[in-house]
Homo-oligomer: A and B are copies of this chain.
Amino acid sequence: MSVQSFTVYDIFEMNARRYATDIAITEKNRSLTFESLLEQVNTLAQGLLNQGIGKGDRIAILAMNHLEYLVLYGATAAMGAILVPINWRLSLDEIAYILDDSGAKLLFFDDARKEQLYALMNARQFTGTPVSISATDPTHLSWAELIKDTASPQLAPTDPPPNPPEREDIFCLIYTAAVDGHPRGAALSHENMVMSNLQTCLTMGLTREDAYLNMVPLFHITGMNLALATLHMGGKNVIMEKFDAPSAIDLARKEGVSILASFPPILSTLLDHMDEGDLASINHVTGIDSPDNITAFTQKTGARFWILYGQSETSGFVTLSDHALMPGAAGKQCPVSNIAILDDDDTALPCETSGEIAVRGPVVFQGFWRKEGNLDPSTIRNGWHHTGDMGRIDKNGFLWFEGRKPEKELIKPGGENVYPAEVEKVVLMHPDVVAVCVIGVPDPKFGEGVKAVCVKQPDADLDAPALIAFVGERIARYKKPGYVEFVDTMPEKSDGTIDRIQVKQLYGRA
């Protein structure tokens, strides 16, 4: 191993010494100290080795938030296997696509996602080995079985596996960027994750006194980043399976939670449920929301709300600032994220000028995963990662987000990524639809909603509810259009392709 190496596994290993008996993770009635967390990580890694898993093999997980999720982060990191966390809100076909594209050998699942797993197995859409992280599934290999034979004559059960990864090796694939209809796995190296942790902690000023409530999913880069950043600093991760407001408020009080991540409608839901004095321990909230919600929340709790910009391709946040400093902006550059605003020829533009947001630095991903295992670095040109987002930097150094480049349109309902192409593909499967353009529109609950602007067959008697139901059977629920508008003709550019800008101008209302 290179002497300069520092991997995600090293966080677990080092903190077992630095904070041995402090609580690292707590979930319901279970807790792990940093010392026992390392033991579990090493034990699981041995179990994976016994299953024939080695460096570079992909291991998927389809589960709610659990303590085991973080143990799996550590175990895959220890041996250089590649973690593939899957968004369980996706449709079966979408999940099957990711399992096939990544070539996952193992698929960890929990009781809550059991039905999805069974359906995938029945349809032969996954032919690897499923592993249940709940104790109660007798039909598949369980976590407990996986780790039961980990002691061997050569190794103590808690020794790390041999042949550790280098920091430039891939730690995980985050599926995103379905610009052309299918998501692509953004390959993040160990270094990417470690650097992302450091600049998050540094900008927010996190310490080992902090406790992060995992209420956003651990399969998204935001959840992953905040969980690992908190872990890195020796803080406490408090796990809840899934967000619900009363439990979040209870847990925050009981565990002294100081950090939350929030996407619409989390903040407004919390505000609806909060009584005087609730969430008083919260010091930091990261995310996006309306200025009204942010102001109401920060005034009630005294917390800081951190506005930000980032992508899976940049390992999470690359800008972060206190909302109070510049409401409406997207934050200032984090310590090792250099940002430029580029024109179409990749020339850097001066401040106060709009262009494409480009990022350079050790948080930039390695490229998109290709089935063959080599990487597609197509967003990286002339030393910059091209985000596909438009923005400008003002004279005070704040980034202002100005939407996606038209050809890379992205809709963000509740913080999820919805690419028009993936929705359009499904809408066009309906025999009565001739043309469609999917756009983002303002939505009072989720911040942004999905709208399908359609031209139908002249004689068709299709209505909006029927089309929504048709699409809903074939795609993740959050991608399903909430709004449908039938139009006579679709605006076109001179080359005959759909003119998205004009569609948005004409039909951009909910």
**A interface, CB within 8 angstroms of B:** 1-6, 10, 13-14, 17-20, 167, 191, 194, 198-199, 201-202, 205, 207, 232-233, 332-333, 335-336, 338, 351, 360-362, 364, 380, 383-385, 393, 395-397
Residues of chain B within 8 A of A6, CB atoms compared: 336, 338, 360-362
Would B198 and A10 count as touching, CB distance under 8 A?
A: no
Residues of chain B within 8 A of A335, CB atoms compared: 198, 201, 232-233
Residues of chain B within 8 A of A232, CB atoms compared: 335
Would A4 and B361 count as touching, CB distance under 8 A?
A: yes
Q: What are 15 A-B contacts defined by CB distance under 8 Å?
A: A2-B383, A3-B360, A3-B364, A3-B383, A4-B191, A4-B361, A4-B362, A5-B383, A6-B338, A17-B393, A18-B397, A20-B395, A20-B396, A20-B397, A233-B335
Apart from A4-B191, A17-B393, 12 more pairs, CB < 8 Å: A1-B360, A3-B380, A4-B361, A4-B362, A5-B383, A13-B338, A18-B397, A198-B198, A198-B202, A198-B336, A205-B205, A232-B335
Knowing A4-B364, A364-B4 touch, does A14 contact B338 (C-beta < 8 A)?
Answer: yes
User: How far is it, in angstroms, between the C-alpha of A346 and the C-alpha of B380 when the chains are bound?
Assistant: 41
Residues of chain B within 8 A of A380, CB atoms compared: 3
User: How far is it, in angstroms, between the C-alpha of A222 and the C-alpha of B153 when the chains are bound?
Assistant: 47
Would A383 and B20 count as touching, CB distance under 8 A?
A: no
5 closest residue pairs by CB, A with B: A18-B397, A1-B383, A6-B361, A17-B397, A6-B336
User: How far is it, in angstroms, between the C-alpha of A14 and the C-alpha of B385 when the chains are bound?
Assistant: 17
In the assembled complex, how far is the CB of residue A474 from the closest CB belonging to chain B, in whole angstroms? 36
Residues of chain B within 8 A of A14, CB atoms compared: 333, 338
Would B10 and A338 count as touching, CB distance under 8 A?
A: yes
In the assembled complex, how far is the CB of residue A277 from the closest CB belonging to chain B, in whole angstroms? 28
Instruction: Please tell me how many copies of the chain the complex holds.
Output: 2
User: How far is it, in angstroms, between the C-alpha of A332 and the C-alpha of B22 when the chains are bound?
Assistant: 15
User: How far is it, in angstroms, between the C-alpha of A19 and the C-alpha of B361 when the chains are bound?
Assistant: 19
Residues of chain B within 8 A of A199, CB atoms compared: 198
Would B338 and A18 count as touching, CB distance under 8 A?
A: no
User: How far is it, in angstroms, between the C-alpha of A198 and the C-alpha of B191 when the chains are bound?
Assistant: 14
In the assembled complex, how far is the CB of residue A416 from the closest CB belonging to chain B, in whole angstroms? 27
Would B202 and A18 count as touching, CB distance under 8 A?
A: no
- CB-nearest residue of chain B to A18: B397
User: How far is it, in angstroms, between the C-alpha of A392 and the C-alpha of B61 when the chains are bound?
Assistant: 39
User: How far is it, in angstroms, between the C-alpha of A17 and the C-alpha of B19 when the chains are bound?
Assistant: 38
User: How far is it, in angstroms, between the C-alpha of A232 and the C-alpha of B364 when the chains are bound?
Assistant: 20
In the assembled complex, how far is the CB of residue A39 from the closest CB belonging to chain B, in whole angstroms? 15
Would B336 and A194 count as touching, CB distance under 8 A?
A: yes
User: How far is it, in angstroms, between the C-alpha of A240 and the C-alpha of B199 when the chains are bound?
Assistant: 30
In the assembled complex, how far is the CB of residue A363 from the closest CB belonging to chain B, in whole angstroms? 8
In the assembled complex, how far is the CB of residue A44 from the closest CB belonging to chain B, in whole angstroms? 21
Would B198 and A351 count as touching, CB distance under 8 A?
A: no
User: How far is it, in angstroms, between the C-alpha of A13 and the C-alpha of B385 when the chains are bound?
Assistant: 18
Would A397 and B19 count as touching, CB distance under 8 A?
A: yes
Residues of chain B within 8 A of A17, CB atoms compared: 333, 351, 393, 397
User: How far is it, in angstroms, between the C-alpha of A6 and the C-alpha of B336 when the chains are bound?
Assistant: 7
- CB-nearest residue of chain B to A5: B360
- CB-nearest residue of chain B to A364: B3
Residues of chain B within 8 A of A333, CB atoms compared: 14, 17-18
User: How far is it, in angstroms, between the C-alpha of A191 and the C-alpha of B5 when the chains are bound?
Assistant: 12
In the assembled complex, how far is the CB of residue A420 from the closest CB belonging to chain B, in whole angstroms? 27
User: How far is it, in angstroms, between the C-alpha of A385 and the C-alpha of B2 when the chains are bound?
Assistant: 10
Residues of chain B within 8 A of A10, CB atoms compared: 336, 338, 361
